[in-house]
Structure 1
């Protein structure tokens, strides 16, 4: 019997119209580029861009960005503050309109902002819609205004909460885990963007703090010299051809142009282009104009000065850009970009940039012939080397294209689809032999490299191509090399994995390989093809059973599970008996509490007793603090709940602290000024209580007071023991677990036989791979220059400054 076909109705009812918040949450990638790391960091850029626009308009000179423990972000500026007055058309506050309406803001009216870098007016509203929660605080016209949102929906209208002398805006938000694949911010990636903003806007001070680190990581960016200082910074630790960067500027309401140029004696080109403070990573018309002018002007000077009389032909763009470090920044009203995240400038400015730079650079060369001769001389040297490199590349190309001539030492795999193929690059023949036996021949290839490859940071292209191990590597990859020949579509393995020992030599080999890929095949890193194998740090033997453990944290978790198998813990106060998984889970929370407690105590002048007194007092009042949505610590400071603040003050006085009750006028809340026994002062107010580490410490302390109340009787193997605190209980359980274990720490791959190597490091179901990514291109370039370049002094300084941060160094 034939199935009856159901006719689908396709009419006006089938057309879905998504507006505002719903549209952004349904299709977030359309607005912020992706729901991965790129889009996540874009949220911060959008909020910061609003503050930078205030700076461009002349109203802001200080921006502070903080990454909190829970990966929420705070951005504070000292601009005018978002307008708070009533919006007649929308029938609500102007601030709420800005936070909840797409294409709402001051950037469509050129009177408010002449030049802007925001996201077509969708920026901060997008951030709001894609955040689990967002808190807005505005200081304007002598008042503090506050509003909170949950996934873009206001909890209550904007309201004035106090008086202030400050002005500006504070936005704190937490990206929504329902939307984003990851909510872990990269301090380095954010630092790179903020450094660019500070360089591009003379006199603006931008600070970023990472509270997740111990100690806190902090960068402050402030540059009076603008992009000329940026170029000088990029050339730091390099040997420059001329001390002072070449700098030109044109100020015009319709098109402002800034260009800074400085050459070094290296072989790389570093050119950064910006339009309205946005890093146009894919270039655009302004970059095309810059390149054309540079090539034409240098060629013209080479001919007119007679420097090129012994050189046949003309200098190419690649020749004149060898060793170049440059920044070009344009600012124009209503720029046209390609793509929502603005990677490429499409506005027609090529001719204007080209004619401006032609004129200025020609004039500069006439006035500074010494610098001009050095630049032209380097370009001519580059052109001669290009011919030698072309011949060397031809040899490599011929061998790479002929698959029958794959390196003999390469143990290739059977799979033909590159997307499924992996290449393990292994140090030495010994580890290579184990890896060849351990691998899955179907899709895992192994390439052992003999000794340490050439340091390409110090070598010219033709010399690099004559190095046997590098030729082997290029041939195995199949992509070719160099601007003319490199073709990523010919890559034979989509996962390239470095597998080296966890010792100094292994680290050096890994660094040499990273230098090669970063300098010669950066696209492989950008596209996510480069990985580092992570062999386990420990092998744990318990009786006849063996287990491999990747790091210290995993070892603690393993010990916890093991130790709680035959332990019972009885709480004396509640009488509850806890064992097995429940005990392991609670002890993990004890360890987590300690982490937050240690972070929070820094905000209490390092006074542990003070913090414990407050935590105990709050636990005694937990009924007043718990709400359906969780803890509400703000209630402590509310006028209506004065008994809570009074209870805290009483507990502090009982513990011997001097206290004074005061008013936080900015938020119209209570606050307690505490003087501890050493004379240090701590202000317990809503600002302190709103920090993540304090909130989490309070939350976990309350939970553990209910579920794991001290003191305890611990029972194990027929004996019992009394333990006074949760921390002592955790220590006792962990030390008991270690007694019957043999813990071996690995140093080299050679310590493993092929079966162990497969099980721990090569088996896709169990291994851990670290993907190589470039979060901060400027910082990355600096580190490679310091570690692998010619200058010894910066390298010595780097080692001295970072030696104390090294962990688990095996020599």
Structure 2
């Protein structure tokens, strides 16, 4: 028996009780955590659901397999229990006390066994595994780095702190568990190796972390498409089969650097394109003066500060993206947007006030102008029009509803921010005292940025990292593994039902929902590595 509805119920029960305990600080000793077995000790529950298309698993077909059920049951039961606990705190505290007693007894028993049988993972995994274990035996102090391939694994093994950092290299792509049955998952060598290293058994109905060997599990993959795919496959596995690891705050993603910038013996690492650009511009503008509005080298009033330039460049890029979206979704062109900006501010906010003559001036007679306004009753009984943004269906048709869309609001915001440098031309002067020290002049902020970037890159050695294997052991430790300098992203589940749906769409067997998802969100893509 059992199935996804039971799993969802158990998960919600455990989460609601542990949340109540944490919220009210009932676990005074804090030397043990509550598990699902503790919350269910002595409990009998009936979970009954109705489903229009149930799918059953197992030889006897008595186990519900619909993946979407788990998230729904989890969400409903969790909300109901939370509400009950809030309304009946005395009963909730009695339940919590009983569960804490069970948890403490179990923890004492576990520690007694652990002291006897705890061995190094090298003993339990055998010689075939590539796990490089750490010497520390306290799981709370231990870290496991999951890395892709032997190349990065070799550098990580050499560079790590052997006292508390363990390395597990994985070969090739990890199995997509969203498309696989449990027995296939358990048969997969890479996943089996990972599970044994972690000390987790996913063959049981409920996963416990009693024997978790590392309290910080860090996914460390390359900064390319393959690395992103492997990271997604690992996240899918952890969400589907070891989500408690995420809820307890044990799962992290390492953020390796994108660039290494060197000058002489000094080096600097940056983790994003924005950080790289900002560093180059900050460096070069220490040696030049940039002014606007025909200012000269000594005109402080028209001096452009580096932070203003960086923010303006970012605004210009965002402006280009939103103009592109407005064109693709609503059919409005750059020239039409420029003419719209000439309208009074109040008409930009309330486009119903724009006259037909003004519309014709903006769009011309060749375009069909439509308005997807819906008449509605306001609170005082008056009829008013509410514009609902809707993509234009015809190439020669403009839907003025775009002026009520979030994209149009973004356009107005970024347009204003993109003009923060002042009036052109923009001039670059060297800071030496020569009479003719003008280096560059342009009317374009982007040309100004390009010139300063090229000027700033002179005398610098810049290396763009795509793979972890491109760094030697010392560099990898310094940038990605050293607790004092590294950047880690903690993996959290914000909305379980939403995450459940996203994984099902993007990683599941059904192609059609995935195609619809990609078509819907294609224009929102920020970073595409092709």
TM over 0.5: yes
Residue equivalent to 2:258: 537
Change (3 A) 1:757 1:402: same
1:737 to 2:456 alignment: yes
Tell me the residue number matched to 2:414. Answer: 697
Q: Is 2:59 the counterpart of 1:338?
A: no
Q: Note the alpha carbon deviations across 1:85-116, whole angstroms, 9 max, x for none.
A: xxxxxxxxxxxxxxxxxxxxxxxxxxxxxxxx
The structure whose residues are more often strand, as a share, is 1
Q: CA deviation at 1:755?
A: 0.7
Preserved contact between residue 714 and residue 723 of structure 1 (Cα < 8 Å): no
Q: CA deviation at 1:444?
A: 2.0
TM-score (norm. length: structure 1): 0.41
Matching residue of 2:485: 766
Contact 1:497 1:533 in 2 (8 A): yes
- Alignment partners' CA distance in 2, 1:581 and 1:406: 66
Offset, 1:684: 11
Q: 1:781 is matched with which residue: 477, 490, 504?
A: 504
Deviations along 1:345-378, whole A, 9 cap, x unmatched? xxxxxxxxxxxxxxxxxxxxxxxxxxxxxxxxxx
Contact 2:224 2:529 in 1 (8 A): no
1:598-636 Cα offsets, whole Å, 9 max, x none, are: 356438964434545666898xxxxxxxxxxxxxx5598
The answer to whether structure 1 residue 752 and structure 2 residue 471 are counterparts is: yes
Greater RCO between the two (CA within 8 Å, min separation 6)?
A: 2
- SS in structure 1 opposite 2:286? helix
1:770-804 CA-partner distances (Å, limit 9, x unpaired): 44455521220233323xxxx8x779979997999
Q: Distance in 1 between matches of 2:151 and 2:321?
A: 46
Residue 758 of structure 1: how far off its partner (Å): 0.8
Equivalent position to 1:570, from 267, 291, 297? 291
Pairing 1:403–2:119 present: yes
Gaps of 5+ in 2: 18-43, 88-112, 366-374, 376-381, 386-394
Q: 1:721 to 1:506 in 2, by over 3 A?
A: closer
Residue 429 (structure 1) shift:
4.1
In the alignment, structure 1 residue 477 sits paired with structure 2 residue 203: no
Contact 1:424 1:498 in 2 (8 A): yes
For residues 807 and 600 of structure 1, the distance between their equivalents in structure 2, rounded to whole angstroms, comes to 16
Distance between the aligned counterparts of 1:484 and 1:744, measured in 2? 48
1:536 Cα offset (Å): 1.9
Residue 586 (1) aligns with residue 308 (2): yes
What RMSD over aligned residues (CA atoms) do the two structures have, in Å? 5.6
Residues 353-368 of structure 1 correspond to what in structure 2 (within 5 A)?
none
Corresponding residue number in structure 2 for 1:438: 159
| Distance in 2 between residues matched to 1:442 and 1:273, nearest whole Å | 38
1:412 lines up with 2:133 in the alignment: yes
Q: Deviations over 1:422-476 (max 9, x none)?
A: 2102234443232122122343222234556566556654565455544432232
In the TM superposition, residue 573 of structure 1 has moved relative to its aligned partner by 5.0
722 and 755 in structure 1: CA distance in 2 versus 1, 3 angstrom threshold: same
Is this contact kept in 2: 1:271–1:324, CA < 8 A?
A: no
Q: CA-to-partner distance for each residue in 1:695-729, whole Å, 9 max, x for gaps?
A: 42364367443xxx212332237343332233432
> Which of 1 and 2 has greater Rg?
1
Per-residue Cα deviation, 1:238-283 (whole angstroms, up to 9, x for no partner): xxxxxxxxxxxxxxxxxxxxxxxxxxxxx97367989xxxx99979
1:498-537 matches, cutoff 5 A: 498-502=219-223, 506=227, 509-537=230-258
1:292-303 equivalence runs, <5 A: none
Aligned counterparts, 1:158-237, within 5 A:
none
Q: Equivalents in 1 of 2:405, 2:183: separation in Å?
A: 60
Cα distance change, pair 419–541 in 1 and its aligned pair in 2 (3 A): same
Q: Report deviation, 1:564.
A: 1.6
Give the number of equivalent residue pairs.
417
C-alpha distance after superposition, 1:272-302 (max 9, x if no partner): 989xxxx999799xx95444999xxx99xxx
The residue aligned with 1:146 is none
Deviation at 1:517, TM superposition (A): 2.6
The 8 Å contact of residues 714 and 720 in structure 1, kept in 2 or not, is answered as yes
Query: Residue 125 of structure 2: SS of its match in structure 1?
Result: coil
Is the contact made by 2:179 and 2:508 (CA closer than 8 Å) also made in structure 1?
A: no
Residue matched to 2:110:
none
Partner of 1:547: 268
Write out aligned runs for 1:720-735 (5 A): 720-735=439-454
Give the secondary structure class of the aligned counterpart of 1:565: coil
Report the CA distance between 1:560 and its aligned residue.
1.8
Compared with structure 1, are the counterparts of its residues 656 and 807 closer, same or farther at alpha carbon in structure 2 (3 Å cutoff)?
Answer: closer
Asked if 1 retains the 8 angstrom alpha-carbon contact of 2:263 and 2:461, the reply is yes
Structure 1 contact 761–768 (Cα < 8 Å) conserved:
yes
Gaps of 5+ in 1: 1-266, 300-310, 345-396, 619-632, 659-663, 669-677
Aligned to 1:714: 428
